[in-house]
Structure 1
C-alpha cells in the first residue's frame, strides 16, 4: 500500500497537517479498501502546533520508508528547519519518495535543496521572504499548487486540499479523487489561482501595513478610485508634479499611480461580487471602469478568474 508520511515539526500549522491526514486517510479505492497508509512522523514524541499539542507514534526515521512525504507549513518562517528533518528529506528524495509541501512547508523543502531550479509556490504572504531566502527557486505566488513530478508545492490553507486531491487523482484516477473531494465537501478543481485571494495594495492590509510617504494619497484613492481619475487629478491632490508622482509610486509601491488605481478598483469589485447581487457590468461601473470589457480584462488579469467565476467561488458569503 502507498504510504504517506505527514511530517510534524515544532510550530507546525495544525490545519495543514490535518488536511493531509484527512484527505489521504479517508481515500478509498473502488473496491472499498484504503488508498493509503497514513502516518504522522514527528521530530519528538510531542510537538507544538499553535495552541495544540500533537503526539505521534512515529519518528522522522519513518520517513525513510514512505512513498509520499507531506511537509505542512510552520507559523514562524524565520526559524530554520531542524537539521535532522532536512537530512531526512534529502535521503527520502534520493530514494525516490515524492515530496509535497503545504503553505510555508516550502521553506523546509527548499532548505533541503529540493526546489533549486524548480518552479514552486507558497502562501502569497510569504512570497517576498521566500524569494529572498531561496533565489534559486522559480517562485510563482499566483497559483494554488505546482506539480514538478517528484516535488510538489502548494499555497496556504485550502490550497493544501487542492494539492492533496491532485495527488489522489495522480495515484488512483479522477473517480477516486472525486469521491475524496465529496468527502471533504470541496470541489475537485477550483477556477483560477492564489491571485484571487491576494491583497493587491498595501492600503488594503490595514493598520499593520508598512507606512509610506504616500499614505495620504493612497487613502484618498481608496475613497475616490471610482471616479474618472487622471494622473493630473492624483498629482493635484498630492501637490506634486506628475513626474514626481510617478517616481514616488514606483519607488514605494512598485507600480504606476494608474496601476494602483486599477488594483483598488478590482479589490472593490471583489467586495461587491462577494456581498451584493449586482450584475457584473454594474459592479464594473460602481468601482470606476467605464468599459465592461476593460473591467473583465483587468479583473481576470489581477485575479486569474472572470468576475462571474469569482462570485461563484464566494457564493456562500452571499448565502450567509
Structure 2
C-alpha cells in the first residue's frame, strides 16, 4: 500500500488539505485500498485555516519518514517552519517523491527543491514566487508540472488534477478515471513524458464580446477570420483585437485555436467519428493538422487521446 503523507503548513486552505483524502482515499487496487493518507505538521494540534473550519492535525513531522509520497499543502506564500524545510530536504535527498498543492510550491522553493526546475502555483501568486525565488522556472499558465520526483500544481481544481495524475502513475488510467468519476471531476490526462504540462485558457474578464464568442463557438467548423469576428461584433479588427485580449488574455485567433482543440477533444471523447471528420467539425482542417495541434496541446496523438478518454455508458 502506497503511503501518502500530507504536510500541512499554515496558513492552509481547508479545501487543499482535503484533496489528498478525497482522491487517494477512493483508490482501490486489486480490491484493497491503494493508499493510506496521514497528515502531519510542525506543531501538532489545532491548525488554523485560511478558508474554512480549523483542522486538527495530530501527527508531527516524524511521520514524513514513513512516506512513499510527500504532499505539501499551504503556506500562502509565507515563510515555512524551519523544521518543515529541513525534513523536506532530507526527504528529497532520500529520493522520496514530493509534490505541492497550490501555494505549497513556496515551501518547496524555500527548501531549495525547485531550484533549476519548472514549477507552478496559483496564478495570482506566480509573480511573487518568481521574484522571491529567481532560480525557479515559474510557469504561471499551466495546471501542474511533473518534473520527475518533484511535482507542483496550481490552485484549487488543478490540485485535484495533480493528485489524479499521481494515481495514474501509480495504478494506471483505469484507477484514475474511476476515482475521478466518483469525485465527479474530469479524468486525469495521460502522458508518458517526464514533464507533463497542460495549458488552460486564462479566466475571462469581461462580457462585451460574449455574444461574439458564443457565435464563434457555434460556427467552429467554419474558417473564421478576424474580419468575420469583427463584422459580427460591428467593430473594427483593431478594436476587436484589443477588447478580445482585454477580456480573455488571448488574441482572437489564439482563443479560436484553443476552442477548436477543445471541440476536437470533446468529439474524440464522445464519438467514433474518423479523424478527418473531427478535424473538419472542429475547424482544424485535416487529420494531420488535428494531430499536430493535439500533440502540441496535451502531448498525445488523437488515437492515444481517444483510447485514454473515450467515454463509455455507465
Q: Give the TM-score of the pair, scaled to structure 2.
A: 0.68
Contact preservation (8 Å) 1:90, 1:114: no
Number of corresponding residues: 277
Alpha-carbon separation, structure 2, partners of 1:307 and 1:17: 33
Alpha-carbon separation, structure 1, partners of 2:40 and 2:306: 39
Question: What's the offset of the Cα at 1:94?
Answer: 4.6
Q: Tell me which residue corresponds to 1:319.
A: 313
Matches within 5 A, 1:101-180: 101-104=99-102, 105-112=104-111, 114-122=113-121, 126=122, 128-135=123-130, 136=134, 137-140=136-139, 141=142, 144-147=145-148, 151-153=150-152, 156-160=159-163, 162-163=165-166
Matched, 1:6 2:31: no
Question: What's the offset of the Cα at 1:93?
Answer: 4.1
| 3-state SS of 2:83 partner | helix
Alpha-carbon separation, structure 2, partners of 1:3 and 1:288: 46
Return 5+ residue gaps in structure 2 as ranges. Answer: 30-34, 178-188
Alpha-carbon separation, structure 1, partners of 2:38 and 2:217: 49
Alpha-carbon separation, structure 2, partners of 1:237 and 1:231: 10
Change (3 A) 1:237 1:107: same
Alpha-carbon separation, structure 1, partners of 2:145 and 2:129: 19
Q: Tell me which residue corresponds to 1:185.
A: 175
| 3-state SS of 1:233 partner | helix
Alpha-carbon separation, structure 2, partners of 1:152 and 1:89: 17
Question: What's the offset of the Cα at 1:65?
Answer: 5.3
Question: What's the offset of the Cα at 1:55?
Answer: 5.2
Q: Which has the higher helix share?
A: 1
Matched, 1:238 2:233: yes
Return 5+ residue gaps in structure 1 as ranges. Answer: 27-35, 167-179, 203-208
Alpha-carbon separation, structure 2, partners of 1:267 and 1:183: 21
Question: What's the offset of the Cα at 1:134?
Answer: 0.5
Aligned-CA RMSD value: 4.2
Alpha-carbon separation, structure 2, partners of 1:69 and 1:294: 39
| 3-state SS of 2:7 partner | strand
Change (3 A) 1:117 1:254: same
- CA-to-aligned-CA distance 1:82-140 (integer Å, 9 cap, x gap): x5x44223222454455612432324323555424432245xxx3x2242220132134
Alpha-carbon separation, structure 2, partners of 1:272 and 1:3: 38
Q: Tell me which residue corresponds to 1:171.
A: none
Matched, 1:283 2:281: no
Alpha-carbon separation, structure 1, partners of 2:172 and 2:202: 35
Q: Give the TM-score of the pair, scaled to structure 1.
A: 0.67
Deviates more, 1:38-47 or 1:225-234: 38-47
Question: What's the offset of the Cα at 1:309?
Answer: 2.0
Point out the structure with max Rg over C-alpha: 1
